[in-house]
Structure 1
Amino acid sequence: MAASSASHDVFQAIADPTRRKLLKLLSKEEMPVTAISGHFPMSRTAVSKHLRVLADAGLVKERKVGRETRYKLEPEPLVELKDWLQYFELFWENKLTALRLFVESDEQDG
């Protein structure tokens, strides 16, 4: 049952553009919240709230280093998102194939 609720959390977590930017930032390196906050026009408290949502969804891990907490991307939960999107690629591929056929037939006619 916990896996079911966690799977919904990943989709909810990435729905926010700030959290998507956080994930991109943390994909490059592990960072403390003070350094992360410098990349956003909001308070450190607001950044921490976004990081908490990402951590609850399993998308970031936190660890204590001395007095600071460092965050890093945990990409495994994104596999579920990739699998879900992969299903819809079939529809995209069909549309692109139809477009290619249309363009090629138009070129032959014209």
Structure 2
Amino acid sequence: NPWDVYHSNPELKEVMDMIASGFFSVEEPNRYQAIFDTLLHKGDHYLLLADYASYVAKQEEVAKLYQSQEEWSRKAILNVARMAKFSSDRTIGEYANNIWNVKSYKNSEKK
């Protein structure tokens, strides 16, 4: 129940109340009302409120890690190096071949 999460986490409640009050859009106070309504009145189907506390904890961990630029850079490089192909890779390849009629470039330089 999203209301249980809302009432059990004072920080989350404050954030949601700020959204509902128009705090982030003074000129248009209802601009973000749909966020509040979707999460609390329509069931929060993706459990965003339930994940809030762990998201905040992870963000604090990331902020702390970012203070060590050497470790941050190492992790960022490893993260990219371990990535697999994305669906966008296939799409770009198809565009290159079928729409733009460009050929791929093979780098012959050995490392």
TM-score by length of 2: 0.28
Higher strand share: 1
- Which protein is bigger by CA-based radius of gyration? 2
Higher RCO, Cα 8 Å, sep 6+: 1
TM (norm. structure 1) is: 0.28
